[in-house]
């Protein structure tokens, strides 16, 4: 019993990583916000929290897939922006929506192939992609504006956002903990983290194909987040996805997922997303300037990763 | 009768190093086939080709007379070839059951991994091997021997006709080996073909019925094991009389230059003592993973020992040696450390020979001092070490294994160290170069140097060293003059005290 609790607390000897501690801190923070910050208790604000959390949750889930295999995707924010820009084009929804997902899939495919076939480091591959997409987005939509298809607007209104949340959690669970694919991601990441890149493939795991698939899914998740955001802001915005890379990586890292790969959990990522959302919400209510907020976010990522156990999977 | 597997005329080269040259191998059903040869003879490469991990440059593989291509480990499994790899390749972040069924997990109707089935099958498989482990335990929590057993269980429970065991007993004690042998016999009786790679002669004669010998990437012979003796087998592996390979023993030793006292590699280990004298080569023998490596690496700060004192040339060494700069500190005290993995830890493969040699001379200077060319020293070292290369500007990666090893040794000899700590002096080096390297090491001690060497190859230790220390369970359990040592004696010492250790 005591041993189990100690393991829970330290995340030691577990593939799920350190998630219990962030959960505790998150709950304490939530209580503090409830009691100490005036605007927070407001039911409307609490509902807003959910809609604020959904894009980050979607992007974070995708990000987690590639982090599990020891990768990283810095292009997710740009995919989100590009998605809203495409949706703001002058065309019917039944053309734009499939286009969005085709484009996202293609972006993930290019990322994945560059990393697995051309051996480009994930940071460089996806950083290049980030810049390329930013350019394309600004060509399509130089400033925020445009009209979003009606169907997108309707699908994110009011109570429907809870449905998005449930769907995101279910798909995330299915991918990460409920399928062979998820187990294979852990296996590939475990090999990478233990400095034995090809271990999983020795067991007959299609490692390259699964890594490529992880990047495709990551971009696709980001596109879904883009659709959701476009519906919320009712227009396209070439800058809406800025910093989502960092936010998603931070959320995943807070949730106990090791950035070296092979260790992490869905509930950890959800906890991380909730914490990031609470933090942003609390800082907004407390009138912390946006500039200071980025300083705080950056520092959190640095500290969290520094605190992550450097010992490889021995844990 | 058509053999189950026939590998014909297999060739494979890694860059400029020929690993396999026109090698053929036939595996029959219901037999345990020993594959022997020195390290670097190509055994592992040949098996990796059969397991689909490495693709051959030429040659063909037939299964039951039909040509097959194994492009990936998965395809090899589909053709019924299952491998227990030499290097531990379990994934530490997965449970035992997940490791056992990775890549072939049973799934439920809903597409989830069927953990219950997986775990009960695994529990049966490891219980059969006499292990009492919870299948949900993460592999990172297992001991080395337990991991080895899990790996073996993984290999032999796969529904395969061919089971490759690449040094399966490296981390096992005598009782475990007996358990393993029982299973190998039962596999054989069920008509499977088993390939057994091992350096331990006793084991080979105990369990195998056929033997194939490889040397320097070529076939030497294949015959029933009953037709050979241990001595003739070793002679076949080495390719010449062992006595020609090794230089003379020490002519006489001088004063002690390195003294280790009350040294504990780990907190639980018995304290050990060791002193090395001028003019002698001391070998650390023992089974793999028993702490030889940690002992040696403790001296240069690459492992943090528990306690002890070390004196080098009557200067005492601070213990623990700092990890960063430890090697440089030792070098300033006249001690050179030659790491086992010359490609990753020893050499700058993509830089020229000259750079690799002179870096040892530069390392003692301050960071901002002028970097001299040291052309003369480099040229002298190259000629005294007989490095076969067009010039000092040739990239180290273009050299053969033996010449790379000479360049690495040359670095320390050029910087005029007095004591050399060497891990695996001839790993992946062909026989001719081995003899040259042994002679170079002997010349070094004859001119007043001292060497501690660590090797997996017992024959090498016996032939090269003057004195052997057998390491078991992180301490020295036996010491013997190399002239009186035999493989048997060393193995006895290495296993003898094993009753208390699990």
Predicted pLDDT at B496: 57
Q: How distant is the Cα of B102 from the closest Cα of chain A, in angstroms? A: 6
Q: Are residues B328 and B438 in the same domain?
A: yes
Using an 8 Å CB-CB cutoff, list chain A residues near B91.
186-187, 190-191, 194, 199-200, 262
Predicted pLDDT at A86: 95
Q: How distant is the Cα of B388 from the closest Cα of chain A, in angstroms? A: 33
Interface of B with A (CB under 8 A): 51, 53, 72-74, 77, 83, 85, 87, 89, 91-94, 98-99, 102-105, 107, 110-113, 138, 140-141
Q: Do B102 and A13 touch (CB under 8 A)?
A: no
Q: Which of A14, A201, A314 sits opposite B72 (nearest CB)?
A: A201
- A106 pLDDT above the threshold of 80: yes
Q: Are residues B401 and B362 in the same domain?
A: yes
Q: Do A189 and B93 touch (CB under 8 A)?
A: yes
| Whether CATH 3.90.550 fits A49-307 | no
Instruction: List residues bridging with B283 in a β-sheet.
Output: B453, B468
From A54, A98, A107, A113, select the one nearest A78 (Cα to Cα): A107
- B455 pLDDT above the threshold of 50: yes
Q: What is d(CA B295, CA B274) in angstroms, rounded to the nearest whole number?
A: 11
Count of residues in chain A? 315
Can you read off the two tokens belonging to residue B40? 């670097």
Q: Do B140 and A200 touch (CB under 8 A)?
A: no
Say if residues A220 and B142 touch (Cβ distance below 8 Å).
no
Q: How distant is the Cα of A171 from the closest Cα of chain B, in angstroms? A: 13
* Helix A207-233 with A43-68: angle, nearest 10 deg: 160
Q: What is d(CA B309, CA B99) in angstroms, rounded to the nearest whole number?
A: 42
Q: Are residues B158 and B283 in the same domain?
A: no
Q: Are residues B352 and B426 in the same domain?
A: no
| ipTM of the complex in this document | 0.81
Say if residues B302 and B326 touch (Cβ distance below 8 Å).
yes
Nearest CA in chain B to A178: B112
Can you read off the two tokens belonging to residue B351? 């830089």
Predicted pLDDT at A249: 95
Q: Give the model confidence (pLDDT) of B245-290 as tens digits.
A: 788 887 777 888 888 888 888 888 888 888 899 999 999 988 777 7
Predicted pLDDT at B32: 93
Using an 8 Å CB-CB cutoff, list chain B residues near A180.
105, 107, 111, 113
Q: Pairing state of beta strands B5-14 and B58-63? A: antiparallel
The model's pTM is: 0.75
Nearest CA in chain B to A311: B140
Q: What is d(CA B148, CA B86) in angstroms, rounded to the nearest whole number?
A: 9
Q: Are residues B16 and B83 in the same domain?
A: yes
Residue A296's alpha-carbon distances to A284, A288, A309, B151, in angstroms, are 13, 10, 22, 47
Q: What is d(CA B8, CA A305) in angstroms, rounded to the nearest whole number?
A: 52
Can you read off the two tokens belonging to residue A301? 């990522």
* Helix A93-116 with A76-87: angle, nearest 10 deg: 160
Q: What is d(CA B161, CA B429) in angstroms, rounded to the nearest whole number?
A: 34
- B346 pLDDT above the threshold of 80: yes
Can you read off the two tokens belonging to residue B478? 């036996």
Can you read off the two tokens belonging to residue B432? 């001719």
From B406, B482, B400, select the one nearest B438 (Cα to Cα): B406
List the single range of A45-59, A139-153, B95-109, B226-240 with lowest mean pLDDT.
B226-240
Q: Do A313 and B93 touch (CB under 8 A)?
A: yes
Using an 8 Å CB-CB cutoff, list chain A residues near B110.
178
Q: Residue A96 — very low, low, confident or very high, per pLDDT cuts 50/70/90?
A: very high
DSSP B324: S
Residue B23's alpha-carbon distances to B56, B209, B221, in angstroms, are 11, 20, 11
Q: Are residues B218 and B160 in the same domain?
A: yes
Peptide bond into B350 cis (omega under 30): no
Strand order in the sheet with B307-312: B272-277, B256-264, B307-312, B315-317
**Mean per-residue pLDDT over chain B, rounded:** 83
Q: How distant is the Cα of B91 from the closest Cα of chain A, in angstroms? A: 6
Q: Do A262 and B93 touch (CB under 8 A)?
A: yes
Q: Which of A186, A206, A314 sits opposite B94 (nearest CB)?
A: A186
Q: What is d(CA B442, CA B445) in angstroms, rounded to the nearest whole number?
A: 5
Q: What is d(CA B185, CA B32) in angstroms, rounded to the nearest whole number?
A: 8
Q: Pairing state of beta strands B450-454 and B31-36? A: unpaired
Q: Which of B53, B91, B140 sits opposite A315 (nearest CB)?
A: B140
Using an 8 Å CB-CB cutoff, list chain B residues near A178.
110-113
- B48 pLDDT above the threshold of 60: yes
User: A170, A201, A204: which to substitute to probe chain B, counting the most B Cβ within 10 Å?
Assistant: A204
Predicted pLDDT at B457: 78
Q: Do B73 and A202 touch (CB under 8 A)?
A: yes
Say if residues B169 and B198 touch (Cβ distance below 8 Å).
yes
For B189, other C-beta atoms within 10 Å of its C-beta total 9
Q: Are residues B384 and B294 in the same domain?
A: no
The rounded percent of chain A whose pLDDT value lies above 90 is 54
Nearest CA in chain A to B151: A203
DSSP A61: H
Q: Are residues B109 and B210 in the same domain?
A: yes
DSSP for B394-413? SBGGGS-HHHHHHHHHHHHH
Interface of A with B (CB under 8 A): 13-15, 174, 178-180, 183-184, 186-187, 189-191, 193-194, 196, 198-206, 262-263, 312-315
Predicted pLDDT at A40: 81
Using an 8 Å CB-CB cutoff, list chain A residues near B138.
13-15
Q: What is d(CA B246, CA A232) in angstroms, rounded to the nearest whole number?
A: 80
Can you read off the two tokens belonging to residue A202? 């020795």
Q: Are residues B74 and B101 in the same domain?
A: yes
Predicted pLDDT at A315: 41
Q: Where do the domains of chain A lie?
A: 49-307
Q: Give the model confidence (pLDDT) of A143-194 as tens digits.
A: 998 899 998 888 887 778 889 999 999 999 999 988 999 999 999 998 887 7
Task: Give the pLDDT mean for B311-318.
Answer: 84
Q: What is d(CA B216, CA B239) in angstroms, rounded to the nearest whole number?
A: 10
C-alpha dihedral, B328 to B330 to B336 to B340, nearest 10°: -80
Is the model more confident about A288 or about B233? Answer: A288
Instruction: List residues bridging with B8 in a β-sheet.
Output: B60
A77 three-state secondary structure: helix
Can you read off the two tokens belonging to residue A106? 């293609």
Q: Residue A135 — very low, low, confident or very high, per pLDDT cuts 50/70/90?
A: very high
Buried b (16+ CB within 10 A) or exposed e, A101-115: eebbbebbebbbbbb
Q: What is d(CA B414, CA A188) in angstroms, rounded to the nearest whole number?
A: 43
Using an 8 Å CB-CB cutoff, list chain A residues near B104.
204
Domain final position from B199, B225, B240 = B240
Q: Which of B73, B107, B141 sits opposite A203 (nearest CB)?
A: B73
Largest CA distance in chain A: 62
Instruction: List residues bridging with B58 in a β-sheet.
Output: B11
> Among all chains, which residue has been given the structure tokens 């505790």?
A24
Domain that holds residue B455: 241-334+418-502
Q: Residue B500 — very low, low, confident or very high, per pLDDT cuts 50/70/90?
A: very low
Q: What is d(CA B289, CA B471) in angstroms, rounded to the nearest whole number?
A: 10
Q: Are residues B210 and B178 in the same domain?
A: yes
Q: Give the model confidence (pLDDT) of B472-490 as tens digits.
A: 888 888 888 888 888 778 8
- B87 pLDDT above the threshold of 70: no
Q: How distant is the Cα of A206 from the closest Cα of chain B, in angstroms? A: 8
State the distance between the two ends of chain B, measured CA to CA, in whole angstroms: 45
Q: What is the 3-state secondary structure (H, E, C) of B201-260?
A: HHHHHHHCCEEEEEECCEEEEEEEHHHCCHHHHHHHHHCCCHHHHCCCCCCCCCCEEEEE
Say if residues B164 and B83 touch (Cβ distance below 8 Å).
yes
User: B75, B77, B83, B91: which to substitute to probe chain A, counting the most A Cβ within 10 Å?
Assistant: B91
Q: Give the model confidence (pLDDT) of B331-342 as tens digits.
A: 888 888 888 877
Q: Do A312 and B92 touch (CB under 8 A)?
A: yes
Predicted pLDDT at B499: 39
Nearest CA in chain A to B97: A183
Domain final position from B375, B390, B416 = B416
From A178, A222, A33, A214, select the one nearest B110 (Cα to Cα): A178
Using an 8 Å CB-CB cutoff, list chain B residues near A14.
138
CATH number assigned to the domain comprising residue B71:
3.40.50.300
Q: Are residues B294 and B433 in the same domain?
A: yes
Give the total number of structural domains in chain B.
3
From B183, B147, B156, B152, select the one nearest B80 (Cα to Cα): B156
Q: Are residues B389 and B489 in the same domain?
A: no
> Among all chains, which residue has been given the structure tokens 């090809």?
A198
The rounded percent of chain A whose pLDDT value lies above 70 is 93
Q: Do B73 and A204 touch (CB under 8 A)?
A: yes
Is the model more confident about A1 or about A189? Answer: A189
B313 three-state secondary structure: coil
- If you count residue pairs, one on A and one on B, with CB atoms under 8 Å apart, how many are there? 84
Half-sphere exposure of A300 (CA within 13 A, CB side): 22
Say if residues A288 and A242 touch (Cβ distance below 8 Å).
no
Domain final position from B209, B240, B271 = B240
Q: What is d(CA B487, CA B455) in angstroms, rounded to the nearest whole number?
A: 13
For B404, other C-beta atoms within 10 Å of its C-beta total 26
Q: How distant is the Cα of A258 from the closest Cα of chain B, in angstroms? A: 12
Query: How many Å is the Cα radius of gyration of chain B?
Result: 24
Residue B162's alpha-carbon distances to A92, B30, B194, B204, in angstroms, are 60, 10, 6, 18
């Amino acid at each position: 019993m005591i041993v189990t609790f100690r393991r829970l607390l330290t995340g030691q000897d577990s593939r799920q990583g350190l998630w219990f501690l962030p959960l505790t801190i998150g709950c304490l923070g939530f209580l503090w916000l409830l009691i100490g910050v005036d605007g927070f208790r407001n039911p409307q604000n609490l509902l807003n929290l959910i809609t604020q959390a959904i894009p980050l949750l979607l992007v974070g889930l995708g990000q987690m897939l590639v982090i599990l295999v020891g990768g990283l995707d810095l292009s997710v924010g740009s995919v989100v922006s590009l998605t809203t820009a495409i949706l703001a084009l002058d065309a019917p929804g039944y053309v734009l929506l499939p286009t969005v997902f085709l484009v996202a899939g293609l972006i993930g495919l290019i990322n994945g192939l560059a990393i697995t076939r051309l051996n480009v480091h994930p940071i460089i591959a996806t950083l290049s992609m980030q810049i390329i997409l930013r350019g394309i987005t600004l060509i399509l939509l130089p400033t925020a504006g445009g009209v979003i298809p009606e169907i997108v607007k309707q699908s994110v209104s009011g109570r429907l956002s809870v449905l998005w949340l449930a769907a995101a959690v279910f798909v995330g669970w299915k991918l990460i903990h409920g399928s062979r694919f998820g187990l294979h991601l852990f296996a590939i990441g475990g090999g990478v983290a233990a400095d034995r890149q090809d271990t999983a493939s020795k067991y007959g795991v299609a490692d390259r194909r699964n890594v490529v698939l992880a990047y495709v899914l990551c971009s696709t998740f980001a596109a879904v987040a883009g659709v959701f955001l476009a519906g919320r802001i009712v227009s396209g915005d070439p800058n809406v996805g800025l910093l989502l890379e960092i936010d998603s990586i931070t959320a995943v890292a807070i949730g106990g997922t090791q950035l070296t790969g092979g260790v992490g959990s869905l509930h950890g990522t959800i906890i991380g997303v909730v914490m990031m959302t609470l933090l942003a919400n609390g800082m907004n209510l407390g009138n912390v300037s946006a500039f200071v907020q980025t300083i705080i976010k950056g520092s959190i990522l640095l500290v969290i990763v520094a605190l992550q156990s450097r010992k490889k999977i021995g844990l | 009768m058509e053999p189950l597997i026939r590998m014909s005329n297999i060739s494979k080269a890694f860059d400029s190093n020929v690993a396999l040259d026109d090698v053929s191998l036939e595996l029959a059903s219901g037999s345990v086939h020993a594959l022997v040869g020195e390290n670097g003879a190509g055994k592992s490469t040949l098996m990796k080709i059969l397991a689909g991990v490495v693709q051959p440059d030429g040659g063909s593989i037939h299964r039951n007379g039909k040509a097959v291509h194994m492009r990936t480990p998965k395809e090899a499994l589909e053709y019924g070839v299952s491998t227990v790899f030499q290097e531990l390749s379990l994934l530490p972040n997965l449970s035992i059951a997940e490791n056992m069924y990775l890549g072939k997990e049973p799934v439920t109707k809903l597409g989830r991994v069927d953990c219950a089935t997986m775990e009960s099958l695994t529990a049966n498989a490891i219980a059969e091997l006499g292990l009492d482990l919870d299948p949900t335990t993460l592999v990172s929590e297992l001991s080395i021997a337990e991991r080895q057993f899990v790996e073996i269980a993984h290999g032999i429970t796969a529904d395969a006709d061919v089971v490759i065991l690449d040094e399966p007993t490296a981390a096992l004690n005598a009782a475990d080996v007996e358990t393993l042998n029982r299973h190998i016999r039962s596999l054989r009786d069920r008509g499977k073909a088993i390939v057994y790679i091992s350096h331990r002669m006793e084991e080979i004669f105990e369990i195998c019925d056929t033997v194939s010998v490889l040397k320097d990437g070529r076939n030497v012979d294949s015959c029933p094991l009953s037709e050979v003796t241990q001595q003739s087998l070793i002679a076949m592996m080495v390719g010449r009389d062992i006595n020609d390979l090794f230089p003379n023993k020490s002519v006489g030793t001088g004063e002690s230059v390195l003294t280790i006292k009350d040294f504990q590699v780990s907190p639980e280990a018995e304290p050990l003592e060791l002193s090395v004298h001028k003019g002698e080569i001391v070998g650390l023998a023992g089974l793999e993973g028993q702490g030889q490596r940690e002992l040696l690496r403790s001296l240069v700060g690459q492992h943090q020992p528990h306690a002890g004192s070390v004196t080098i040339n009557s200067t005492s060494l601070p213990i623990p040696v700092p990890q960063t700069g430890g090697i440089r500190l030792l070098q300033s005290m006249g001690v050179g450390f030659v790491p086992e993995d010359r490609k990753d830890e020893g050499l700058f493969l993509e830089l020229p020979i000259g750079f690799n040699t002179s870096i040892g001379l530069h390392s003692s200077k301050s960071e901002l001092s002028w970097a001299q060319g040291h052309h003369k020293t480099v040229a002298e070292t190259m000629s005294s070490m007989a490095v076969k290369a067009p010039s000092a500007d040739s990239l180290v990666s273009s050299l053969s294994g033996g010449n790379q090893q000479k360049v690495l040794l040359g670095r320390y000899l050029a910087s005029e160290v007095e004591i050399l700590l060497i891990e695996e002096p001839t790993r992946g080096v062909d026989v001719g170069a081995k003899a040259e390297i042994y002679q170079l090491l002997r010349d070094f001690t004859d001119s007043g140097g001292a060497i501690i060497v660590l090797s997996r190859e017992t024959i090498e230790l016996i032939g090269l060293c003057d004195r052997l220390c057998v390491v078991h369970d992180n301490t020295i359990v036996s010491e013997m003059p190399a002239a009186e040592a035999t493989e048997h004696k060393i193995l006895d010492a290495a296993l003898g005290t094993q009753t208390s250790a699990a």
